[in-house]
Amino acid sequence: MSLVTLDQIQAPVVAELKQFDAHFRGAMKTRVLLLDTIMQYIVKRKGKQIRPLFVLLSANLCGGIKPETYRGAALVELLHTATLVHDDVVDDADQRRGFFSVNALWKNKIAVLVGDFLLSRGLLMSLEHDDFRLLKIVSNAVRLMSEGELLQIEKARKLNVDEPVYFDIIRQKTASLIASCCEVGAASASSDIEMAERMRLFGEKVGIAFQIKDDLFDYGSADVGKPLGIDIKEKKMTLPLIHVLNKASWTERRQIISVVKNYNTHPVKVRWLIDYVIGNGGMEYKCNNMFKRRMRY
């Protein structure tokens, strides 16, 4: 079975994506020279715009793309970009998508203010056009993302994450934004509340599957732009690790927890843990779990 390419997915809305790009660039304009320079830097290094794509495709499916759809897509992308800028400050990250991060080039204080500016632009754009329903959807997603991140940090301190907590974390911190994209697209195209809710649930399942797949890369060898073992370094309890912990003997469990807590930056010990997870069925378990959940929904 051949994989579907991004170009094929974009094909139904390729013209609309170009129109969205103009909306997004316009929303980021400012008269402050320093801020405008940073905005141009961000725009030139934008990612694949997966989230606006979800908005446009959902609207196309639910009645057609309207002016509100472009504003909804721009709102999502502005708030998402704001969270990325703030995340790089929190994580002290020097790179984003293979380029220097905003905080690496302009320092933390400016980066925080840039994130605040992006957040405010999205909010004001919605208020100026009375897009209250769209704003409510995206604001709720941002709340869930924040709660999910904090829940993950709380659990990382004690390493007491089980499967229900793991899925609660990824539902909030990752899936909620994809869910809001699909719901925003549907809400911008139609007043059918039931349809918007169905699209939200669809987006949530896609977001969960995306995060599960992303977590697998921590134990793989493929070059996907994500460093090997980064989740272990950040003390994130992902599904393969949770599975082997549940199966491990008392001695092995202590050894695993010791690596995650105390030696998560030690290359040899992290490599041992990766090999242990792979050798004890963590990868197969996660793939099977993802398949079962997809079938369930």
Q: How much is the pLDDT for 291? A: 47
CATH, domain 15-207, list 3.40.50.720, 1.10.287.3510, 2.120.10.30, 1.10.600.10:
1.10.600.10
What are the structure tokens assigned to 144, written together?
């869930």
What's the pLDDT tens digit per position in 184-205?
999 999 999 999 999 999 999 9
Q: Where are the alpha helices (DSSP H) in the chain?
A: 6-10, 14-27, 33-44, 50-61, 67-90, 102-128, 132-158, 163-170, 176-189, 193-216, 230-233, 239-247, 250-262, 267-279, 282-296
pTM of the model: 0.84
CA distance to 55, 69, 191, 227, 228, per residue, from 58 (Å): 5, 10, 13, 33, 34
Chain region(s) in the chain for CATH 1.10.600.10:
15-207
At 283 the three-state DSSP class reads: helix
Average pLDDT over residues 96-121: 89
State the first-to-last Cα distance of the chain, in angstroms, to the nearest integer. 22
Gap between the Cα atoms of 218 and 28, Å rounded: 34
Q: How much is the pLDDT for 297? A: 44
Q: How confident is the model at residue 140 (pLDDT cuts 50, 70, 90)?
A: very high
Burial class (CB in 10 A: 0-12, 13-18, 19+), 265: exposed
The highest-confidence range among 95-104, 151-160, 190-199, by mean pLDDT, is 190-199
Average pLDDT over residues 239-253: 82
Q: Find all residues with CB under 8 Å of 282, minimum gap 6, and list them.
A: 219, 239, 240, 241, 243, 244
Q: For residue 185, how many C-alpha atoms fall within 13 Å in the half-sphere facing its CB?
A: 30
What's the pLDDT tens digit per position in 24-72?
888 888 889 999 999 999 888 777 889 999 999 999 999 999 999 999 9
- 95, containing H or E segment: strand 95-96
pLDDT of 206 over the 90 cut:
yes
Dihedral of alpha carbons 138, 182, 147, 38, sign: negative
Gap between the Cα atoms of 39 and 115, Å rounded: 10
Q: How confident is the model at residue 224 (pLDDT cuts 50, 70, 90)?
A: very low
